[in-house]
Amino acid sequence: MIALHDLLAASTDTRVAVCRDGGARFTLADFRARADAVARAVESGDARRVAICTDDPYDFACAFFAIAAAGREVVVPASSAPDYLSELAQGYDQLLDARALDACANTRSTPAAPALSRAIDARAAITLYTSGSSGVAKPVRKTLAQFDAEVRTLQREWGECVGGAVTLSSVPHHHIYGLLFRILWPLAAGRAFDRASTLEPLQLRDRLAAYGGGVVVSTPSQLSRWPSLPGFAALVPAPRAFFSSGGPLTPEAAAAYASAFGMAPLEIFGSTETGGIAWRRQDMTRAWQPMRGIDVRCEEDRDAGRDAGSDAGGALCVRSAHLGHDEWHRTDDAARFDAAGRFELTGRLDRVVKLNGKRVSLQELEARIVRHPFVAQAAATVIDGISRARVGVAAVPTDAGRRALETDGRLAVAAALRRDLGAYFDPVALPRHWRFRRAMPFDARGKLPKAAIESVFAPTPEGFELLAEWGDASNLHAELRVPPGLAHFAGHFPGLPILPGVVQIDWAVRIASRDIPGVRAVRSIEHLKFKAPVPPGAVLALSLAHDADRRRVRFTFRRGARECTSGVIAYGEGA
């Protein structure tokens, strides 16, 4: 292991590869030369806080260490969106984006010239941004020494398992999980990381073959999709390990990886503020095991879950070198410990809301919902109704839940869930709004922002409200509500509003293109039939049957038992 503050100065073999890009290799000498060029550019100005905004992990890593070597504060924005950066403008003095980094001289060391050497203060300041509980960007200040302590923890836990494998990642490096697992840990351990900024299944297969193996760093949302893809279990060579963070991996996904590769993904629990805290493998246990050198304890919280149910646990507290101090840090996560010192997460303590004068823990509500055999994942939010606020839940069904949706329908499944919850919660806490999704709306960092949950209950950009969806790439089913105020009703027809048939066709095409792999370049709509009108407020059942060999998708809209519209979408091979 090389200490992170010695990365640009340590006496070591500079010919070792630190980054791979298919057939291209970037050595430590290349890395130091590139970092020196960026450092000189930073030193030529008077900016004290320098932000990095690039999707290229190699350029990002070079800039990260260059800014620290120049004695400036490294600022890592959570997003490259222009409006976000504009709001964050007071948090930095200079922005190094892709164009600015390209402008830096890219001098490379040669065998005839010694590798460039730059010392870095271990106390170098790094500021990351996280959304915070309110959704507003929140700065979290750390030092390079804290990150060095964390990569050493990771090496103690999994260094032997990982060995010298190349790191392949689908996680953005501006998130602490991606920064640590994708860039800093490989650099400190003398392993290469892959330069690709995204990781699609075919790319993963090709890169594993090119590199002779690797480790995969990803998120629950992406890992959950891969098992259903052709050739998933036939990756050769198989990755040495899959890492996951940003949220819980469903038991079904964990089981799929255990079956295919002999072990479930290694799930990492922590936060930007605390760094890594614990890990688990669901084929071994669903409880979280504290990482070596991390102290944890439970602090009882009398308010946790009050009026909303029971068994919420206490506040999880942590003490570690990742924090930069020796004090206990109280998190907003509720936990319950077992006799072996492991713990289960029972929710968060900072999402307790008041409904009709009653305190309701949304976290505990979610924890109780996912215990039902119909639900794999759940996220609760508060929806402001006409008369009073109600709880809404977005849920990803299990196989049993999908079968129940297919046979009994959305309303019956929602009623069954409410009956189950009624044994634990006050009636005011019971969800009145349910949305069933094939996947949760996680963002690129694997997080589930409050705004993303709320958006599930709003009309889609196409105009309909998506109440439920289930099925697979061959047979998809969805329930759509047609909002009465939809613009398409205007003038069609005065006094008797009817949803235009072309709008129904558009909805079917868009859903098919979004959810069925390969449906692109629509050529024609065939066998079109309009059998019944669709009025404002109608709830439509949409069925999509995919014939991949003939490149056809048959769609049918029904209102109750009555068929309204049907046809066939014919598509080509174009992108």
Alpha carbon separation from 467 to 440, 487, 541 (Å, rounded):
14, 20, 10
pLDDT score, position 205: 86
DSSP string, 244-298: EESSPPPHHHHHHHHHHHSS--EEEEEETTTEEEEEE-TTT-SSBEEPTT-EEEE
As given in the structure block, the two tokens for residue 85 are 């950066």
Per-residue pLDDT, averaged over 126-130, amounts to: 92
Which among 357, 375, 358 is positioned nearest to 366, based on CA atoms?
A: 375
The CA-CA-CA angle for residues 63, 69, 75, to 5°, reads 50
Of the two residues 190 and 307, the one the predictor is more confident about is: 190
pLDDT at 263 over 60: yes
Q: How confident is the model at residue 131 (pLDDT cuts 50, 70, 90)?
A: low
Q: What percent of the chain stands above pLDDT 70?
A: 94
227-241, 350-364, 528-542, range with the lowest pLDDT: 350-364
As given in the structure block, the two tokens for residue 418 are 């409410």
Of the two residues 300 and 232, the one the predictor is more confident about is: 232
Specify which residues 359 forms β-bridges with. Answer: 354
Tell me the average pLDDT of the chain.
89
pLDDT score, position 84: 80
Q: How confident is the model at residue 6 (pLDDT cuts 50, 70, 90)?
A: very high
pLDDT score, position 105: 61
pLDDT score, position 148: 97
Q: Report the run of H or E that residue 389 belongs to, with start and end.
A: strand 389-397
pLDDT at 135 over 50: no
70-79, 309-318, 460-469, 481-490, range with the lowest pLDDT: 309-318
pLDDT score, position 133: 42
Q: Report the run of H or E that residue 202 belongs to, with start and end.
A: helix 201-211
Q: Are 564 and 558 in contact, with CB atoms under 8 Å apart?
A: yes
Q: How confident is the model at residue 307 (pLDDT cuts 50, 70, 90)?
A: very low
Reported as a single tens digit per residue, the pLDDT across 494-516 is: 889 999 999 999 999 999 998 88
Per-residue pLDDT, averaged over 160-171, amounts to: 95
pLDDT score, position 66: 97
pLDDT at 69 over 90: yes
Q: Phi and psi for 85 in degrees, rounded to 5?
A: -65, -35
pLDDT at 107 over 50: no
pLDDT at 110 over 80: no
pLDDT score, position 385: 66
Of the two residues 233 and 89, the one the predictor is more confident about is: 89
pLDDT score, position 358: 75
Per-residue pLDDT, averaged over 175-190, amounts to: 96
Q: In a 10 Å sphere around its CB, with 0-12 CB exposed, 13-18 middle and 19+ buried, how is residue 449 labelled? A: middle
pLDDT score, position 299: 87
pLDDT at 308 over 50: no
Per-residue pLDDT, averaged over 40-69, amounts to: 96
The CA-CA-CA angle for residues 151, 155, 157, to 5°, reads 115
Per-residue pLDDT, averaged over 530-553, amounts to: 95
pLDDT at 134 over 70: no
pLDDT score, position 359: 75
pLDDT at 361 over 90: no
As given in the structure block, the two tokens for residue 27 are 């050595």
As given in the structure block, the two tokens for residue 311 are 């068994």
Reported as a single tens digit per residue, the pLDDT across 368-391 is: 899 999 999 999 999 986 667 899
pLDDT score, position 351: 79
Per-residue pLDDT, averaged over 93-101, amounts to: 95
pLDDT score, position 314: 87
Q: How confident is the model at residue 200 (pLDDT cuts 50, 70, 90)?
A: confident
Reported as a single tens digit per residue, the pLDDT across 426-458 is: 888 899 999 999 999 887 777 788 889 999 999
Q: What is this structure's pTM?
A: 0.74
Q: How confident is the model at residue 575 (pLDDT cuts 50, 70, 90)?
A: very low
pLDDT at 108 over 90: no
Alpha carbon separation from 142 to 74, 125, 132, 145, 315 (Å, rounded):
10, 6, 16, 8, 23
102-106, 294-298, 430-434, 498-502, range with the lowest pLDDT: 102-106
pLDDT score, position 153: 97
pLDDT score, position 301: 52
Give the separation between CA 122 and CA 11, rounded to whole angstroms: 17
Q: How confident is the model at residue 104 (pLDDT cuts 50, 70, 90)?
A: confident
Q: Are 519 and 513 in contact, with CB atoms under 8 Å apart?
A: yes
pLDDT at 150 over 60: yes
Which among 332, 331, 335 is positioned nearest to 320, based on CA atoms?
A: 331
430-448 b/e with 16+ CB inside 10 Å = b? bbebbbbbbebbbbbbbbb
Distance of CA 550 to the CA centre of its chain: 35
